[in-house]
Structure 1
Amino acid sequence: MTALILHHYPASPFSEKIRRALAYKQLPWKSVVVPTILPKPDVQALTGGYRKTPFLQIGADIYCDSALICDVLEHVQPEPVLYPPHLKGVARVFAQWADSTLFGAAMAYNLQPRGAAALFANLPEGMAQAFSEDRREMSAGMPRLRPPEATAAYRSYLRRIAHMAEEHDFLFGAEPCLADFAAYHPLWFTRTCVPVMADIFAATPAVLEWMDRIAALGLQRMEKFSAEDAITVAARAEPLPLGDEVFQDEHGIALGSSVQIAADSFGTEPTQGELLAATRTRYTLCRQDPRAGTVHVHFPRIGYTLRQAQA
């Protein structure tokens, strides 16, 4: 199997979701640390515009969005499972809630002034302002929770997670599943990246015990790798053959068309390329880059928009 290359940075919550899943499956992976804010020339050489973190590279195939990355990891190594057969539906629905509603409340709570000051305390002067401006641009037009509402919502969500963790070792039973990793990562940010804000867990000790069980699931099998080497890997590889899944046309856009795909909310910078596949669950674009060569960039359908490219 071609190496799994995860493009991430240490304090990225969604990256932690994938790092935990990789550890659980005991998959070896190469670590490329990406910038937290623009410019990201090495990222965009591979993705063509998408700049959210993380993304997964396998040769000349680039997989965007943590939801799709989890699907890919399950395909690469089916055991231990992220999607137990009796939980496939509920795990996906719960994970979508955790990645959006729970994450939004948690981060609005985490990054209020006390948390932000702690997060940026040891970073270069001006980094806090640059990060804030970068994320403000990425979230333009999105509704934002004010700290009081975020705190109240986060407390409620922690109580609900505690109720689940009090019943089982993991959220839906004796073994972890996708739902656990999706709920874990914004709480991990509170506990690890802004510990000054972690007093919110005081009322829900069962949540901390559950988080400890997630963290203990496996050791990271990670090897440091450079962005330049990752681009070289892509340039020397051929994209994997596409599967035989049926084309599902919801837009009246034919395969082979020049299109743009973008996230529908946070981080809406588009990626442009030739539409190679539009299956029940994902889109695939072919694009050319002077440094990375021919790459296939994959996106999940849910959370992303497909449009004909401007002539």
Structure 2
Amino acid sequence: PTFYPAATAGADEALTRWAEQQFMRPTALYVSGINADHMPVGLHEDRARLHGLPPPSIEAVRAAAIRNLHLVKPQIKWLADMLADGRPYLLGAVPCIADFAAYHVVWFYRGRHIDCRGVFDPYPKLRTWRDRMAAIGHGARTDIDAEVALAEARAAKPAAPRPSQPQEGDPEPGERARVRPSDNAKDWVEGEVLFIDAHEIALLRHDPEVGNVAVHFPRLGYDWRSCR
């Protein structure tokens, strides 16, 4: 089944963006703050660098938990309200991309050492949805040796792109550009424009270990710059 049923088109993308852009960040700060003393060495510093911030003190990480609890509680209630009528999934009878986007945030509340899932206790239908999503599972996994995986990647080639439809001011296919998330990350990904339209930009990159790789980015939530 598709992650993008026609019946939920538009609403599923809007909810996905909310979950990834507004719900995840305060959740991560809350759960990481509660588990501040149990995280791997260097993780807090690494996450701060990702967001262009100086390394935090452990006291600052703990304090962030309290501040962000007040940001996650209303959003948890929004999620519960969507499920209050007993529907099995956020937008109806079948799961869509919005369910998976929201579930990966809800899953995070398990915490690394201290379980934070008590915030869901007032919402039994939300917990039922959470368990239903967990039951979907991860499919059948096949282990593969790292060198074999790299060899298969080197032997593969990116599929031929669809016809591009550049918007005004966009780089043309064949030109070089760089892309990065617009919300927090500071590192650019640079490559040759393979495909571009109003919704997506794909950069062709070459890596000595895996050969040519097409990296696809949504337009929404990402910045791009021409490399001239």
Instruction: Give the letter for the 1:117 counterpart.
Output: D
For residue 115 of structure 1, what is the aligned residue in structure 2?
35
The code of the aligned residue for 1:92 comes to E
Structure 1, unpaired ranges of 5+: 1-79, 121-126
**Counterpart Cα distance in 2 of 1:177 and 1:252:** 31
Separation (CA, whole Å) in 2 of partners of 1:160 and 1:253: 39
Indicate yes or no: 2:151 matched with 1:232. yes
Structure 2: how far apart are the matches of 1:180 and 1:252? Answer: 32
1:134 is matched with: 46
Q: Answer 1 or 2: higher relative contact order, Cα 8 Å, separation at least 6.
A: 1
Corresponding residue for residue 199 of structure 1: 118
* Aligned length, in residue pairs: 220
The alpha-carbon distance between structure 1 residues 146 and 159, as it changes in their structure 2 partners (threshold 3 A), is: same
Instruction: Give the deviation of 1:195 after TM superposition.
Output: 4.6
| SS of residue matched to 2:202 | strand
3-state SS of paired residue (2:183): coil
Are the equivalent residues in 2 in contact too, given 1:110–1:194 (CA < 8 A)?
Answer: no
Residues in 2 aligned to 1:188 and 1:210: alpha-carbon distance in whole angstroms: 12
> Equivalent residue for 1:87?
8
Q: Where does the alignment leave 5 or more consecutive residues of structure 2 unmatched?
A: 54-60
1:220–1:184 distance in 2 versus 1, CA, 3 Å: same
Match of 2:136 among 211, 217, 221: 217
- Give the SS at the match of 1:256: coil
Deviation at 1:132?
Answer: 1.2
For residues 81-138 of structure 1, the C-alpha deviation after alignment (integer angstroms, 9 at most, x for no partner) is 21221211011001100111111121111111x32334x3xxxxxx33x111111111
Alignment TM-score, normalising by the size of structure 2: 0.86
Give the root-mean-square deviation of aligned CA atoms. 2.3
Match of 1:105 in 2: 26
Contact residue 262 and residue 269 of structure 1 kept, 8 A: yes
Alpha-carbon displacement from aligned partner over 1:242-288 (angstroms, at most 9, x marks no partner): 123x3223434232112211122233311211112112221111222
Name the CA distance, whole Å, in 1 between partners of 2:2 and 2:154. Answer: 32
Summarize the Cα distance change of 1:203–1:252 in structure 2 as closer, same or farther, 3 Å threshold.
closer
Q: CA deviation at 1:290?
A: 1.9
Identity of matched residues, %: 28
CA contact (8 A) 1:115 1:197 kept: no
Q: Note if 1:302 corresponds to 2:214.
A: no
Q: Distance in 2 between matches of 1:198 and 1:214?
A: 15
Letter of the 1:115 counterpart: N
CA distance in 2, matches of 1:252, 1:175: 37
Q: 2:177 matched to 1:259?
A: yes
Aligned twin of 1:291: 209
TM-score (norm 1): 0.65
Is the partner of 1:166 in helix, strand or coil?
coil
SS in 1 for 2:116: helix
More moved, 234-243 vs 195-204: 195-204
Q: Which residue does the alignment assign to 2:160?
A: 241
Match runs of 1:56-67 below 5 Å: none
Equivalent-residue separation in structure 2 for 1:219 and 1:286 (angstroms): 29
Deviation at 1:213, TM superposition (A): 0.7
One-letter amino acid of the structure 1 residue matched with residue 173 of structure 2: L
Structure-1 separation of matches of 2:15 and 2:111? 23
Counterparts of 2:138 and 2:116, CA distance in 1: 27
Task: Kindly state the Cα deviation for residue 236 of structure 1 after the two structures are TM-superposed.
Answer: 0.9
Distance 1:160 1:194, change over 3 A: farther
1:303–1:96 CA distance, 2 compared to 1 (3 A) = same
